[in-house]
Amino acid sequence: MALNEIRSVEDQPFGTFAPQGLIARIIGWTRCASGSFLGRKLAFALRRLGLNRLKGQPVDIEALGAQMRLYPEGNVCEKRVLFTPQYFDAQERELLAARIRDGFSFIDVGANIGAYSLFVAARAGRSARILAVEPQPDIFARLTYNIAQNPFGTVKAVACALADKPGELTLFLDPANKGESSVRILRSSNANSVRVPATTLLALVQSEGYERIDAIKLDVEGAEDLILEPFLHDAPEALWPGFIIVEDSRGRWQADLPALLESKGYRLIAQTRLNLVYERTTS
C-alpha cells in the first residue's frame, strides 16, 4: 500500500479489520502451532493460505501484548507477528523480558511497526521510557498508528535514520519486504530509495535526555556497525546499553562489531538464526 492508501485505511477505527470466519480460524491455528518441525511446517502452510485469503487487506488484532493493525503482505515482520508471534524472536524476547524493571529504558532502532517497542511497553509499566526509531515514511505511519491504539503512554516514535554522522542520507527500500530498509545498498536489484533525515545514536539519546540505556535493539539491514561503533567510541560509559540485541549482519559489517563489543565488556549470551544478543558484564 502507498502512504496515502495507508492513511485512508488508518481513518477507520481499530476493530474495523478484525479477523472473521476462516481468516480468524487460520490465525488461531497458526498461533497455536508448536515449535516442532512439523508444527512449524503446518503453521507456515496455513500462513500462506491466510495471506492468499486476505488479498492485501490489513488485520486488527492483539499481538505480543498490544493492539496492532497489521499489513502482512509485503512486510515479513507483520506477517510473522500476525500469524506466528510465538516464533517471532522468541529467545530474544524472553531474555529481554527477564531484564525489564521499574524505569526501564529501551531504544528500538529499526522499529518497523513497533513489535519490540510495544512488547516492552506492555510489560514495563508507566515508568518506562521507550524510543521507537523508524525512518521509512509508510512504515512510520503504521508504527505511530499502532502506538496510538494502546494505553501505555511510554513509547515515543522518532522519524529518522541513525548513522555515523548527522545530515540527510539515502535509504534503500526493498519492494518485496517493506520492513527491509538500509542506508547500505540492498541485495535486491529492484530496491527503491528515499532521502531521510539522519542523526547519530549519541545525539538522539542526548537530545532526549537519557541518562542510561537499559536495552537496545538494532535491526537496520547491515548498518548496525555504523550506529554502534561511533556510539561506543564517543558516548560516556554511563550511556552504554546494558543489553543489546543486534541483527546478525557480520557478512555486511565494515567494522568488527563483535570484537568491539567484547573490548567494551560485553559478553555474547545468545546467538539465534537472525540476531546476536549481548550483555555488559563490567562497569
For 175-184, what is each residue's pLDDT tens digit? Answer: 766 666 666 5
Residue 2 has pLDDT above 80, yes or no: no
Q: Summarize pLDDT for 79-121 with one digit per residue, the tens.
A: 999 999 999 999 999 999 999 999 999 999 999 999 999 999 9
Delimiting residues of CATH 3.40.50.150 domain(s) in the chain = 90-280
The pLDDT value given to residue 4: 58
Average pLDDT of the chain, as a whole number: 91
Q: How confident is the model at residue 170 (pLDDT cuts 50, 70, 90)?
A: confident
- Burial letters 43-72, b for 16+ CB under 10 A, else e: beebbeebbeebeeebbbbebbebbbbbbb
Residue 49 has pLDDT above 60, yes or no: yes
The answer to whether the CB of 145 falls within 8 A of the CB of 8 is: no
Taking the CA of residue 164 as centre, how many other CA atoms within 13 Å lie in the half-sphere pointing to its CB? Answer: 11
DSSP-assigned letter for residue 157: E
- Residue 83, burial from CB neighbour count under 10 angstroms (0-12, 13-18, 19+): buried
| C-alpha grid cell, residue 127 | 515508568
Q: What is the value of pTM for the model shown?
A: 0.90
* More confident call, 48 vs 178: 48
Assign domain 90-280 one CATH number from 3.30.700.30, 3.40.50.880, 3.30.56.10, 3.40.50.150.
3.40.50.150
The pLDDT value given to residue 1: 52
Partner residues linked to 133 by β-bridges: 109, 158
Residue 282 has pLDDT above 80, yes or no: no
| C-alpha grid cell, residue 251 | 557478512
CB atoms within 10 A of CB 257: 23
Q: How confident is the model at residue 192 (pLDDT cuts 50, 70, 90)?
A: confident
Residue 222 has pLDDT above 90, yes or no: no
| C-alpha grid cell, residue 168 | 540527510
Q: How far apart are CA 76 and CA 74, in angstroms?
A: 7
The answer to whether the CB of 260 falls within 8 A of the CB of 251 is: no
The pLDDT value given to residue 281: 83
3-state SS class at 41: helix
Give the mean model confidence (pLDDT) for residues 131-149. Answer: 95
What H or E segment, with its residue span, contains residue 78? Answer: helix 76-83
Sign of CA dihedral 17, 18, 24, 30: positive
Lowest mean pLDDT across 153-157, 183-187, 199-203, 276-280: 183-187
Nearest 5°: phi and psi at 168?
Answer: -130, 140
As a residue count, the chain comes to 283
- Name residues whose C-beta falls within 8 Å of residue 83's C-beta, 6 or more positions apart in sequence: 26, 27, 30, 31, 43, 46, 47, 50, 72
3-state SS class at 159: coil
| C-alpha grid cell, residue 228 | 554502534
